[in-house]
Amino acid sequence: MADPVVFEALVNRENVMSSAENFVLHLLLQATAAAKGQGVNGVRLPLNLGVVIDRSGSMYDERRLEFVVEAVKFLVDNLEPDDRVAIVAFADQAHIVAAGDQIRDKAAVKRAIDDIDMLEIGGGTQMALGMKAAIEEVKKNLAASRLNRVLVLTDGQTYEEMACLELARANKAQMSFSAMGVGAEFNEKLLMQVAQETGGKYHYIGDSAQIPQIFEDELQGLRAVTARNGRFDLALSQGVQIREAFRASPEIYSLGEPLLDAERKISYAVGDLEGGVPASILLSLVLPPRKPGVVRLARAAFHYELPGVGERELAADVTVNYTLDRALASKANGRVMNLVDQVAIAKLQAKAEEEFKQGNVDRATKLLTNAIASTQKVGNVKATQALSGFMEQIKKTQTLESKAAKTTLLQAQAVVRKTQMLDPEALKELKDLE
Amino acid sequence: MIKCSECGYENTEGLDYCDSCGAALTHAAPAAETAPAQEAAAATAPSAEVGSEEGHGAEPAAAEAQAAQAAAAAPAEAPQPSATPSLPPGSKVKLKIVRGGRKGQEFPLEEGNNVIGRFDPESGAFPEVDLEADDPEAKVSRKHALIKVENGKITIEDIGSLNGTYVNRAPRLQPGQPVELKGGDEIIVGKTFFQVVVETPS
């Protein structure tokens, strides 16, 4: 059977100048699992979910709670008899609305969800309590053959933020956490970390009417998983350093300080793979000067589990040719460069945000101007608009305190974070060609 | 090192954007005319270590590197690998089929307008890049896309195609909104994958 996962290790330039200086080379590691029905067994993975719902006072604004209730009922309606979903509401306390295995009686579960606003649990925000209760419920039905995930939705700042992050970190080996932030008052850094560190997804929901669609997207994403526990392993040759590592698809975000172990190895877990959605990492390497010739930079591998079959590994050697031929060395891989461009934009947006929070408005504006020049160059109209909107806001208000400023910031983050991938139509054309 | 033309920051070679201000970097030819640093005992050692291993060996290499830098400071004739490329005069631009249809087939592009499409029997017009032979399923519109080579730049725009024009796997181009191209970029029209090839006079 042909491998259901395609693994590619591509450098942005296959030929580099043989010179007297260190230089930067980008390495793209990308793994794409085949979609269900495209040569994959299509083993159905039962779900084991915990849904954590914020029932603080602010959730009554803009019909937020109403939309959440609708979304969760939709979720319940679309589960199979062997799926498990526990529903937890939290405010000052947490309350288990439905335990994991009560899903057998969908009507009763939906009635309980309808009564969420009758719960006497106060009006504050103690998200850690909600997460803890959901985690305990998910653990009761935990199985390696299940997709185990906690979905958290909140619209505000919570007490004990560190406790929330620590709960996610402590349990990430057994379950992933997806986090949804509604409105403009939640802590996006916290929700991003909870999701990105555990293999889940972070969603910014500006308009509460979008809540049901986000839940539907989460469910579809889980149903589309065809390969599990993906991990890129890299062993670098002597002299090669990593200066930066970014997740490059389906979302763009920093992977923090790259730390090689004693054997010059490093690993990056990318979670479960949805069929047809490439998971990729972009590494910026620093290479030493060398005389002309082909050199191996690293050995790269992608490790994953095929449900019902077992563990698999795909490997590739990463080489580069040092040359004195300038014309040869000027050729770049368009696909890799496109991701380099997109990561550069995301970096600039994050840097501008940091500068602005420190009060350096001029510097933040300069960085955003350069980011916008790039979004225009790559033809990303939405990103150009979102970044321009953010820049106008900070020029106008000079502060991030207003709702308008926070909203344009969250919108700008959301747009540059989402990798611009090949259109589904063109992807189909690609499949026909293969 | 590459000096940022906007803020003056010295960036490591190979970078496309300034580490400090994020501006796109324009590359001068790296110090490549001279042979690289003297033979390193361990071929894998980075340059700093090499310098210390061979005491007086480091000096000629440093002097060579400096001379090369001075030479590189003059306007470079090498094609820019990225950022805002400017085509040197006398450059040839082509589209080469890398997948689908007649793989390897090259279409030289002229200065000015180059229409990508198919022969139009009604008007009798042949586009500059005619995909009639490569497109049996008629996925390419008669007037599909337009590539302009002028003022040292290459741009592409979709001129109202049915199935879309794609550059480097980004979402389809909006008709009427040109996007800049550089050597190595990938274009998809119908089921044909092209690579943009830029040949500079040596």
A314 touches chain B (CB under 8 A): no
Min Cα–Cα distance to chain A from B79, Å: 7
User: What mean pLDDT comes out for the span B62-70?
Assistant: 39
Contact between B147 and B181 under an 8 Å Cβ cutoff? The reply is yes
pLDDT (tens digit per residue) in A366-422: 999 999 999 998 888 999 999 999 999 888 888 888 888 899 999 999 999 999 875
Q: Which residue of A has its CA nearest to B187?
A: A334
Question: Do the Cβ atoms of B23 and A370 come closer than 8 Å?
Answer: yes
Average pLDDT over residues A337-350: 95
Euclidean distance between CA atoms B81 and A56, whole angstroms = 54
Q: What does the pLDDT read at residue B74?
A: 35
Q: How many angstroms separate the CA atoms of A124 and A127, rounded? A: 9
Mean pLDDT of chain A: 92
For chain A, give the percent of residues with pLDDT over 90.
Answer: 81
- What is the predicted pLDDT for the residue at A368? 95
A366: distance to nearest CA of chain B, Å?
7
Using the predicted structure, report yes or no on whether residue A429 has a pLDDT greater than 60.
no
More confident site: B65 or A197: A197
CB A88 within 8 A of CB A51: yes
- pLDDT class for B64, splitting at 50, 70, 90? very low
The answer to whether B16 contacts chain A (CB < 8 Å) is yes
Contacts with B, A 243-302, CB within 8 Å: 286-291
Please give, one letter per residue, the 3-state secondary structure of chain B. CEECCCCCCEECECCCECCCCCCECCCCCCCCCCCCCCCCCCCCCCHHHHHHHCCCCHHHHHHHHHHHHHHHHCCCCCCCCCCCCCCCCCCEEEEEEEECCCCCCEEEECCEEEEEECCECCCCECCCEECHHHCCCCCCCCEEEEEEEECCEEEEEECCCCCCEEECCCCCCCCCCCEEECCCCEEEECCEEEEEEEECCC
ipTM of the complex: 0.86
Q: In which band, very low, low, confident or very high, does the pLDDT at B47 lie, cut at 50, 70 and 90? A: very low
Helices A161-171 and A188-196 sit at what angle, rounded to 10 degrees?
10
The enclosing H or E element of A195 equals helix A188-196
Q: A21, B65: Cβ pair inside 8 Å?
A: yes
Q: Tell if the CB–CB gap between B30 and A374 is shorter than 8 Å.
A: no
d(C-alpha A354, C-alpha A367), whole Å = 11
Instruction: State mean pLDDT over A152-178.
Output: 96
Using a CB-CB cut-off of 8 Å, the residues of chain A touching B183 are 330-332
pTM of the model: 0.73
The 10s digit of each residue's pLDDT in A186-195 is 999 999 999 9
> Quick one: pLDDT at residue A39?
52
| Beta-bridge mates of residue A305 | A228, A311
Question: What pLDDT does residue A425 have?
Answer: 52
As a whole number, mean pLDDT of residues A165-185 equals: 97
Q: What is the pLDDT of residue B168?
A: 85
Report yes or no: B59 at the A interface, CB cutoff 8 Å: no
> Looking at CA atoms only, how far is residue B191 from chain A in angstroms?
6
pLDDT band at B86 (very low <50, low <70, confident <90, very high): low
Of B195, B177, B17, give the one whose Cα is nearest residue B106: B195
CB contact under 8 A, A348 and B180: no
Average pLDDT for B38-48 = 36
Instruction: Give the pLDDT score at B56.
Output: 39
